[in-house]
Chains A and B, each alone.
Chain A
Amino acid sequence: MFRRSFIMLSGVAALASTPPLAALAATPKDQLVVAITMSSMRGLDPHEINQLESAEVVANLYERLIVLPADKIAEPQPGLAESWTISPDGKTFTFKIRQGVKFHSGNALTAKDVEWSLRRLVKLGLAPSTDLRQWGFSADNVEKLIRATDDNTLVLETPEVWNANLILFSLASFSTSVLDSKFLADKDKGGDMGREFLQTADAGSGPYALRSWRANELLIAEAFKGYWQGEPKMRRVLLRHIPESAAQRLQIDNGDVDVAARLSSTDLGALEAGGKVDIQKTPGFGYYYLALNQKDEILSKPKVREAFRYLIDYDGLSATVMKYYGIKQQTIIPPGLPGAIDKNPYKLDIEKAKQLLAEAGYPNGFTKVYYATPVTPEYEVAQSLQANAAKAGIKLDLQGGDHIGKFRNRDFELFSARSGERLPDPHAILQSYATNANNTDEAKLTGLNAWRTAWDVPKEIQDMVTAAAHETDQSKRAELYAKINEAYLAASPALVTSFQRTDAKAVRKEVNGYLGHSTWLTRWDTVTKAQ
């Protein structure tokens, strides 16, 4: 019995170990293989998701009225809207919808679909609905304010005057994707407007159609032959769930994947040195930040807050763990946006921090609990701060874990994490970091980092943020943002920003046109492969 089993198994093992030739070849010339981590993907409904990997998929399955090209992120270009006009009072946007666009179902895309989709986003009221709700749209007024006047015209009215770019940028976000309303009509379950169906299916008009998706395993999208801009070059795009950074590195190095999207700093460094791939560092609109709870008596002292700015090793981290993940950035508006200034006045200075602590009345330091997310590179940044703080007499009890809930509920002392916004405009960041209309616990403005930190943001800063959002003159607006930037830096903020977030991806050199996108809208239809 044993002998038979042994012979059989040896035979099977030997046969199986003889590789089919195809297994170790490079990826096909007409297919793009992307290694990603799917663990945090939450379905594929554009009006529900709020996460980078899902957003990239949705960006290719669906289309939006406006396009923000990866290399001209703040210049709105026509998408499904062929053109648009804005009324003199700045409140009415009229979009001419492109004709001849088909959904994957074969249905023609009309202004009615756009109307239905934008209304659906607001009515569902899920996380991405903020993209429209923040401008005053609600389930009660959306029927009146967003309407298709005919098959080719969509009119959108804002309850208040906002800078036009804010509205146009919002209409380029994945959340405002246009859905096939006719196709979804019979997919409705209990008034969910097709929500259950769209978790694992698509109803878009984008360059790719979903073929199959097995969560935490594989997603296959196929080129849409009827795409109005022509059939994409890549016949199929495959996203493979490869959770291990080392495995991603080996596979891209061997040519089994074309793009690796979740690599550690070490692996990115090794790949860059290897010369087979390009490392794309895409700056995002978010920060690595340290939050100091202002309900704490010690941390609420401006000199203590200022001391923490001298305890971060900006240059040391830039050269090591943050090499691919961030860019040193101490002001609140990232480079390239209106009001940005090239100013990083702080550096690691333990003696200066000690002096500030002594002036604040804590010459011997103090002890605090410090929550940080135990993932790379956030945790390494936190460990570095902990070590420097100890030198200045501050004992930080660093606790890893998922503490975001405590941060939202103001139940913390120190907390650090990474944020990410999706509008290429200073307002998106400033709204969260520099506005807090009501600092009471009861207000529960849990979406705002400033409220979570219980930071009573100086009124003049908040007023300027509001004024800038409504300002229609771009140069005046830029001036306002420059002032806000300076004022924020000088305010010893309770939200200390140290690095601008960057998302790093490794892309094989033979792959062209795969461009990291700051608002998570990387396109696959622009990809080609060198022969």
Chain B
Amino acid sequence: MSIAQTTEHPYQGSRKLLSGLRKIATSFAVILTTLFGLLVITFIVGRMVPADPVIAVIGDQADQATYDRVFTEMGLDRPLYVQFGHYLTDIAKLDFGQSHVTKNPVASDLARVFPATLELATLATLIGACFGVPLGVLAAVRKGTWVDHVARVVGLLGYSTPIFWLGTIVILVFYAKFGLIPAGGRIDIYNEGLVEGPTNSLLIDSLLAREWDVFWSAMHHVITPALILGYAAMAYLSRMSRSFMLEQLRQEYILTARAKGLGKWPIIWRHAFRNIRVQLLTVVALAYCGLLDGTVLIETVFAWPGLGQYLTSALFFADMNAVLGSVLLIGIISIAINLLSDIVYRFIDPRTR
């Protein structure tokens, strides 16, 4: 190593600082551009939806005078770019407008529906990761044996079974036939209204309030949809883990480790698994993002009042404020999860620093 490489230039510290700041600025610019692009595309697509937002509000029997009045009230008489401009200005003030369907501020609607989806998706991701990753690793280690075959069949079923159908069958068997699970919703009617706020996650709020009946009722309701979603996530994660692991097990350093006399499981967990952690983190983050915005089918089957249902209903009734607010939230969450994964990469893999 040369001396020039080890001696720090007097300006190197500030250069590093500048470079760091530039990176942060670039990241911010990328995030803002992504969010802006997301809003532009959603806004344009929203305007192309054939549903008439005015009729969605006033009903189809209303006369022209009522139509014109509401059309103006909703600001639809202004040019598109003006409407979009107003929307951006409001967002800057953290005002997402009012939902034409629920009649609430979109922000308060999102504060209510998003925690419902968040607790469902988080639990499903945990279930998927905790079962899927070990299953994939095991299948790779026991490649070609019955364990591998079982893992692949389980994965294939999870991949190919429509969530909607699975949810309906589970309700039919475990609710209608055996009475073991509730049919849907977040909580039993007896416990309605006992716990309200501050997070709008019933699991967390009931724990904070030490309302154990409410907690168990909420857990009892969330576990079935979470298990079904978790199963789909598990199928994806086990396949990916198996594939990543197989690639690692073919590497020469594994042979070296074996030659050194290391045991089978230490080689697998301390060496091979360590090297697939970054890839795994990426797919887990992707699965989590997918669950946060893509649980609409399971939300419909289990009458789960989450973001997926809210967004779908808003799209159906051309409720543009609600659509844009939801899409923006999903965008922010996706970006946040990606940023978080980037940060975690740096901790678990020094090469990415």
Contacts and interface: CB of A to CB of B under 8 A. Distances in A.
Interface of A: 2, 5-6, 9, 12-13, 15-17, 19-20, 22-24, 27-28, 31, 33, 39-43, 50-51, 125-127, 129-130, 199-200, 211-212, 214-218, 220, 238, 240-244, 246-247, 250-251, 253-254, 256, 401-405, 407-408, 417, 419, 421, 432, 444-447
A129 B58 CA distance: 11
Contacts of A444: 64
Given A13-B227, A216-B310, A254 B303 contact: no
7 contacts: A9-B127, A9-B130, A16-B220, A200-B103, A214-B112, A243-B309, A253-B176
Size category of the binding interface on chain B: 35 or more
B172 A238 contact: no
A454 to B, nearest CB: 15
Contact of A405 (B52, B305, B309, B317): B52
B317 A40 contact: yes
A212 B197 CA distance: 14
Nearest to B220: A16
A404 B101 contact: no
Interface string B44-70: 000000111001011111111111011
Contacts of A16: 216, 219-220, 222-223
Given A5-B130, A16-B216, A215-B102, A22 B188 contact: yes
B309 A216 contact: yes
A8 to B, nearest CB: 9
Interface of B: 50-52, 55, 57-67, 69-70, 99-104, 109, 112, 126-127, 130-131, 133-134, 168, 171-172, 175-176, 179-185, 188-190, 192-193, 213, 216-217, 219-220, 222-223, 227, 300-303, 305, 309-310, 313, 316-317
Q: What secondary structure prevails in chain B residues at the interface with A?
A: helix
Contacts of A407: 60
Contact of B219 (A15, A22, A41): A15
A250 B172 contact: yes
B185 A19 contact: no
Given A126-B70, A445-B64, A250 B183 contact: yes
A394 to B, nearest CB: 25
A402 B315 CA distance: 12
Given A20-B220, A218-B192, A403 B50 contact: yes
B189 A238 contact: yes
Contact of B102 (A216, A254, A401, A417): A216
A125 B126 contact: no
A39 B102 CA distance: 9
A6 B181 CA distance: 22
A445 B63 contact: yes
A214 B176 CA distance: 27
B50 A247 contact: no
B62 A402 contact: no
Given A247-B171, A250-B175, A404 B60 contact: yes
B57 A42 contact: yes
Contacts of A220: 192-193
A215 B183 contact: no
B198 to A, nearest CB: 16
B225 to A, nearest CB: 12
B64 A17 contact: no
Contacts of A17: 180-181, 220, 223
Given A215-B104, A254-B175, A244 B223 contact: no
5 pairs of A and B residues whose beta carbons are closest in the complex = A215-B102, A199-B103, A447-B63, A217-B305, A405-B52
A23 to B, nearest CB: 5
A238 B188 CA distance: 12
B65 A23 contact: no
Given A243-B300, A250-B183, A50 B58 contact: yes
B61 A447 contact: yes
A66 B95 CA distance: 42
A17 B222 CA distance: 10
